A and B are shown apart, each in its own frame.
Chain A
């Protein structure tokens, strides 16, 4: 067997292993989420199936495989089946770029599946393809609520994708590379990037919640408003695939945040050799972010749709651009040798945002006066999702 073929086989093995690891994490995330939500509401979560409810995910999986898989008459034949496959395919692919350790640290293999020079761009591009899964799924259902859910969902996701893309630009200016390994190595040498890009991180975190459709921003499946949004007509394994895609996207978003802003697979450097252990620190950081996702779900009510869009376009986007300009100004006129004043500025900006959050909410939510007389305003078709 030639060497290159052997390499490809090992990559295939790694890809399959990673996919199964992600799916297992997804399965147990559902359990952990239910248990944690339950503890936060002072009740028990699922604890009957197996010890501590540990077999609950297995029971759920078996149930969704053995359920009847039918398609409503109005649904599009091909796209209806294709949409969940696209969603899960893209979600699983994106995680392959995350480096979990230094080169050759996974039994002599590299602890990542692919390492592109355009790393973070590729990850953002692949996760963005998930929009297609949701939109086509909603459209192909041929029904009212899925269509509304997918329309709202895709508008929301593309709006926050802008903020997400712009909020990491300051970081890229500092590091000077889009390769994820180089970003991690830079942080190993100079300190984690949240210290220098606190504002960028805040915007990225908010956008990640919107991108992965989690509560405060889960408009694609706002069950009290739209039945189950794009999932209304889905059942059995296709429904499970969409759920899988959502949770895998959440895990990927956590991994990206850990890699970009928190030093990736490295631990805190004052721990010496313990900080260089691969896998462990990354998994810890991902777990922390996943806990944050669940915590926020238990805490915050959903926004209204117009509030969400105003927030994205009037707060996240301008602030991300401001962050880019501030970082660019600092790097151009002071240089990158002392970075801490820039970091201080970012942290101050975040503190200001938190302190002024009420004021900002009023500002962002106040509808802008367009100067059009009320009588002249064209009436919108309110019944068809203009909420």
Chain B
């Protein structure tokens, strides 16, 4: 670590608080409890419920008809487009968060940086808007 002697105040404050990283362990515990409740519910229901499967019962829903082979239909490319746009703009959001939290400390410089960044992305948004990517028909 090149910057070791010049650690930020935040890092020092954290160390003096005696390992705040324990909070991540707490989050993990909560996650385990949440998933555990789901698993428990599924297991208990599997044990308690009746088990009388039949061919008709195991048919996928289609008002009594044999449905088409499920999950194999091709769907419009639009969903891919939306997902791609989401990735692009979510990365934008990811870049926004640090500048937002540090905004008042960095001052006017951060402002022009933000404006430049937003302008670049606005061009992208206007482009896809004019291209009609946001249209569904």
Contacts and interface: CB of A to CB of B under 8 A. Distances in A.
Q: Do A and B come from the same complex?
A: yes
Among B20, B34, B69, B114, the one with the most A-chain Cβ atoms within 10 Å of its Cβ is B34
Interface in B62-103: 62, 67-71, 73-76, 78-79, 82-83, 85-86, 89-90, 93, 96-97, 100-103
B42 interface: yes
A367 interface: yes
Nearest to B14: A117
Nearest to A372: B132
Given A162-B89, A332-B108, A368 B132 contact: yes
A178 B85 CA distance: 25
B17 to A, nearest CB: 11
B128 to A, nearest CB: 8
B38 A173 contact: no
Interface residues of A, number: 102
Interface residues of B, number: 77
A141 interface: yes
Contacts of A159: 82, 86
Interface of A: 4, 7-8, 11-12, 15-16, 18-19, 23, 64-75, 81, 84-93, 96-97, 113-117, 121-122, 139, 141-145, 147-148, 151, 154-155, 158-159, 161-162, 165-166, 169-170, 172-173, 176-178, 227, 232-233, 236-238, 240-241, 305-306, 309-310, 313-314, 317-318, 321, 324-325, 328-329, 331-333, 336, 367-368, 370, 372, 380-381, 383-387
Interface of B: 20, 22-27, 29-31, 33-35, 37-39, 41-42, 44-46, 48-53, 57-62, 67-71, 73-76, 78-79, 82-83, 85-86, 89-90, 93, 96-97, 100-105, 107-108, 110-111, 114-115, 118, 121-122, 125, 129-132, 134-137
Return the 8 tightest CB-CB contacts between A and B, nearest first: A92-B34, A306-B136, A85-B38, A332-B111, A237-B45, A370-B132, A89-B35, A114-B26
